Chain A
Amino acid sequence: MSIHPSLPSLQLLHRRTRIVAAFLAGFFVILVARVWYLQILQGHIYKERSIRQRTRIQRVFAPRGEFLDREGRILVDTRPGFNITITREDVQDLDQTLQRLSRLTGLSPEKAKETLRRAREKGTPAFQPIRLLTNVNWKTVALLEATPMNLPGIDISPEPLRNFRYGDLFAHGFGYLGEISRTELSQPAFRNDRVGDEIGKAGLEKILQQELKGTDGFRRVEVNSRGRIIDETAGHPPVPGNRIFLTIDLDLQRTLEKAFGNQAGAGVVLNVNNGEILAMASRPTFRPDLFSGGIPRKKWNELLHDPLHPLTNKAISGQYPPGSVFKIVVAVAALEEKVISPDETITCRGYIGFGGRHYRCWKRGGHGKIGLTRALIESCDVYFYEVGERLGIDKIAEYARSLGLGSPTGILLEGERAGLIPDRSWKQRVRKEPWFPGETLSASIGQGYILVTPIQLANLTATIANGGTLYRPQLVRRIEDYEGNLLEVRSPEVLHDVPISSRTLHLITHALEGVVSGKHGTGRRARIEGIRIAGKTGTAQVVRMRQEEERKEDLPDRYRDHALFVAFAPVEKPEIALAIIVEHGGHGGSAAAPIARKVLRAYFKKSGRIIEIAGRSTPPAKEKKP
């Protein structure tokens, strides 16, 4: 076949080809204009979007500062923990992702969705990871890491977790951590914290929050479309929190807590010469690490409604009548006010008649003619009724307050209670009643309205021991930064000097030594061979009952009296003072003194001043009432 162009149609074809060419040329111009628009006119917008899309700022949590004991032994530190987070922006199929995650971790998809819903409500941006699970175990981490199916948007993010090395040891002192609340977030002190952060919620963790928390670092990372990290472009390492060196001695603390066994109560051990707290316990206690990551409601209710109040720090918040321990205060007041001379004796017939009533001594048959020293050693009530009456309530209150009772010591912990030292004006003000003279008698033996805290008793004892200096009990010795640079040394703080003559102190100390070492001493269970110990027992009435009722041992535990014991040692040059209260323990001599003994023993053993002799123990006290 042949192709012979018919000229008119070829001309038409060429003309139309030019039209098509022009049309195409026009389109090429449009394309160039379009690319110009995107790359030149809007280039900066897309550049920003491109950067934002691939870079993530990751927070690197700062390890919380450590707590160390006075010898530098770590009590609380951090350990690596893992959270599972979800980044909404990276999730392709939410339902599928949550299903798979549920299979691997057991987290129900509904619960995860609820978390996401809350995050959306709070306006959390889609690129910010949201915690789904905190503190997951190694098995789960390994499972997630090893899972062949990719879970876009799900990440394992490391976060240091609080590690209480000794479990519940000193739990009330440390306190615990918990998730920051809405109100806390709005406070200026927490302006660098975020939703979901854990902060100190109680105890030293709370009070020293700013010291402990450190400064979070960040990592700027480049991620791919699946959220996998490809490169780390910039960053700043976190600065761990400061190291807190406590005044606590780990050995004494452990001894003290162990000594309580199953008994409820509190104990405080002080260095008499500077107010440092060597040990402080409140029983029963709790495990602070239970609170991290949210304590289960059931567990929380158990703790909250436990009749033995495990969450209360009884060492500073428990208010108890001091019982016979208060006789120390009355004795000091009487000697200083010279209402009595050391040699003067009072006759105890087992009771004293006053205002038409009989006030009894614990010893039914009476102590007979008794002087100050013996009255303290044998804890004669009648002697102190007489002396107290001579002093009057206002003088007693004055000395009690001077020795630190009735007002908070100002220890670095929240929730400290003041106790109560009553006097005339107090009664008039609060009760709208005059002071009845008979009430002075009750007060003289530490009953009635008087309430004290264990730490006040320990402080009182230390003040007698050190010659009259009332220190503020101290918990923190020094603070270092994480590299060990000294930031702060907390020196002993003197609340005031109590004007007591050395003669008075000498007399009292001598008597208190007799309490422990004397043949009729009520505190003989605290005795340690080779160490001179001064102490005083006390029994605090839980239920007011007629004094004729004797057989308190038959009562149910919760009605039994609290047992108290205070002591300091060694008498010749005092170093350590302590106060022990065993709730419903019965008598101070039998319940509280053995605990004190264990602590004192540990203290002196540690300093090499006693040598353990197997099987040796001090003889048990015959008399039961202090």
Chain B
Amino acid sequence: MLDRRLITHFDFGFLFLVLLISLIGEGAIYSASHFAGSPPSDLYLRQLYWIGIGLILLLATISIDYRSLHRYAYLIYAVSVGLLLVVSFKGAIGMGAQRWIVVGPLTLQPSELAKIALILVLSRYLSDIQERGGFTAGHYFNLALLIGLPLILILRQPDLGTSLMLLFIAVTLLFLAGMPVRFFTYAGVTVLGAVPFLWRFLKDYQKQRIRVFFNPDLDPSGAGYHIIQSKIAIGSGGFLGKGIMHGTQSQLRFLPEQHTDFIFSVIAEETGFIGTLILILLFAYLIFKGINIALKTQDLFGTLVATGITTMIAYYILINIGMTSGLFPVVGVPLPFISYGGSSLITLFIGVGLILNIRMRRFHEG
């Protein structure tokens, strides 16, 4: 069954890179979850399980020819939106942000799956448009519907970080698929014009986060605390860092959410500029390899999927590091393969599986 050429074209380097970064993440979680004066935590072990589950799903993803995903793209999209509706419905009964579905021992976060589903459905739809010779007015409406549905559902949860990610991914795919540049100019102007209007739709804490971003000292013990502490952690790492397990800001719990969204600060504090540079370079290399795979792919759908997933990973990285280093406002976005958390890890491994899938079948005409 398994074609030998598939093995020949399997990109072991890419997988190795992903596993290497995941192991760095393991180390960082181990360090970040061991506080001075507290009993050890088993978070790093749980993360290891998630990596294992991720690898299984990655293999499963590889085993299906990505071209069959082209066929099932709408179905996957429909299931994903359906799950988001379930969450939305449950959320309406429950309280606060409801992002998870509990199925037996598993906790699923449908918004994670929605990212993959959106990339697949847009790649399918946009490649179809290209096949037929370009955009028409009706296409724009359909695209707005395809993008808008999951976006609004996730925004309602509320999950600003994931919504923004979806928006960035969608815009990138539209751009890649050849949407005229002037469209983005108009859209950009429209969005800017709509900012005061949109502002009213943000939750109070979201508004506060954005305000505090521009002036962290507005609330040094509240919303600004994250940014200030994160910058202290990164900055105090200096050139060589304070040593693994010796980050004072993280060990003494000054850093919030340090094993999830602010894990980069822990690495930066403990390994210094050398460590952060190596990590950023590894990430950059990963993105470069992803883009390279996309460029070598000879069909529109495959290129769009590969680029879509690669840019998704890139946006994760840029937003997360940008946020922890004080370049962007704080939105809850994990650092890919590093931050603790099963859902995002699974999404990423499935994404990597898709890229590998595309890579190994690029010369394979089925």
User: Which residues of A does B touch, CB under 8 Å?
Assistant: 1, 3-6, 9-10, 12-14, 16-21, 24-25, 27-28, 30-32, 34-36, 38-40, 42-47, 49-51, 53-54, 92, 222-226, 228, 230-231
Interface centre among A10, A35, A231 (most CB of B within 10 A): A35
Task: Report B-chain residues with C-beta under 8 Å of the C-beta of A43.
Answer: 235-239
- For B35, B232, B268, B326, the residue with the greatest tally of chain A CB atoms inside 10 Å of its CB is B232
Least Cβ–Cβ distance between A587 and chain B, in angstroms: 74
B33 within 8 A of A: no
Interface residues of B in 182-217 (CB under 8 A from A): none
* CA A244 to CA B159, docked complex, whole Å: 71
Look across to chain A and name the residue whose beta carbon is closest to the beta carbon of B264. Answer: A35
Query: If the complex has contacts A9-B130, A34-B327, A40-B273, are A228 and B37 also in contact, measured as CB distance less than 8 A?
Result: yes
Complex formed: what's the CA distance from A36 to B268 in Å? 11
Say how far A220's CB is from chain B's closest CB, in angstroms. Answer: 14
Selected from A21, A49, A231, the residue in CB contact (under 8 A) with B291 is A21
The chain B residue with its CB closest to the CB of A28 is B284
Q: Which residue of A lies closest to B221 (CB)?
A: A92
Which A residues are in CB contact (< 8 Å) with B326? 34, 38
| CA–CA, A16 and B294, complex, Å | 11
Q: Does A5 contact B237, Cβ atoms closer than 8 Å?
A: no
Q: Is the CB of B294 within 8 A of A224?
A: no
* Residues of B252-289 contacting chain A, CB below 8 A: 252-254, 268, 272-273, 276-277, 280, 283-284, 287-288
Cα A53 to Cα B288 with chains together (Å): 40
Q: Is the interface of B mostly helix, strand, loop or mixed?
A: helix
Rank and list the top 7 A-B pairs by shortest CB-CB distance, nearest first.
A46-B235, A50-B236, A224-B252, A43-B238, A9-B130, A39-B273, A46-B236
In whole Å, how far is A233's beta carbon from the nearest beta carbon of chain B?
A: 11
CA gap between A45 and B127 in the complex, in Å:
52
Given A9-B130, A10-B303, A31-B325, 15 new contacts (CB under 8 A): A3-B67, A5-B298, A13-B130, A17-B291, A17-B303, A24-B291, A38-B268, A39-B238, A39-B239, A42-B235, A50-B233, A53-B232, A224-B35, A224-B252, A225-B252
Establish whether residues B178 and A38, one from each chain, have CB atoms under 8 Å apart when the complex forms.
no
Name the B residues within 8 Å of A36 (CB-CB): 273
Q: Are B298 and A39 in contact (CB under 8 A)?
A: no
A519 to chain B: closest CB distance in Å? 85
- Whether B300 lies near A38 (C-beta < 8 A) is no
In this assembly, does B42 line the interface, its C-beta being within 8 Å of a C-beta of chain A? no
1/0 contact string of B296-332 vs chain A (CB within 8 Å): 0011111110010001001000100110011100000
A223 contact from B67, B252, B277, B283, Cβ within 8 A = B252
Instruction: Answer yes or no: B131 CB below 8 A from chain A CBs.
Output: yes
B87 at the interface (CB under 8 A from A): no
Q: Collect the chain B residues with CB atoms within 8 Å of residue A50's CB.
A: 232-233, 235-236, 248-249
CB-based contact A35/B303 at 8 Å: no
B249 CB contacts on chain A under 8 angstroms:
50, 53-54
Query: By the criterion CB–CB under 8 Å, are B253 and A47 in contact?
Result: no
Given A3-B70, A6-B131: A35 touches B277 (CB 8 Å cut-off): yes
Q: Which stretch from B51-59, B105-113, B169-177, B344-352 is at the chain A interface?
A: B169-177
CA distance in complex: A42, B327 (Å): 15
Cβ–Cβ < 8 Å partners of A25 in chain B: 284
Tell me if B237 and A39 are in contact (CB < 8 A): yes
Question: Are B318 and A24 in touch, CB under 8 angstroms?
Answer: yes
Q: Which of A18, A35, A222 contacts B234 (CB 8 A)?
A: A35
Q: Contacts of A5 on B, CB cut-off 8 Å?
A: 298-300
Residue of B nearest to A89 (CB): B221
> Which residues of chain A are near B307, meaning CB under 8 Å?
17, 20
Quick one: which of B136-165 are within 8 Å of A by CB?
A: none
A19: which B residues are within 8 A, CB to CB? 175
Partner of B327, one of A6, A10, A30: A30
Is B295 on the interface with A (CB-CB < 8 A)?
A: yes
The reply to whether A31 and B321 contact each other, CB–CB distance below 8 Å, is: yes
Our pick among B175, B232, B238, B295 for the contact of A14 (Cβ within 8 Å) is B295
22 A-B residue pairings within 8 Å (CB atoms): A3-B67, A9-B130, A10-B300, A10-B303, A13-B176, A13-B300, A13-B303, A13-B304, A14-B295, A19-B175, A20-B172, A38-B235, A38-B268, A39-B235, A43-B237, A43-B238, A46-B231, A50-B248, A53-B232, A54-B248, A54-B252, A225-B253
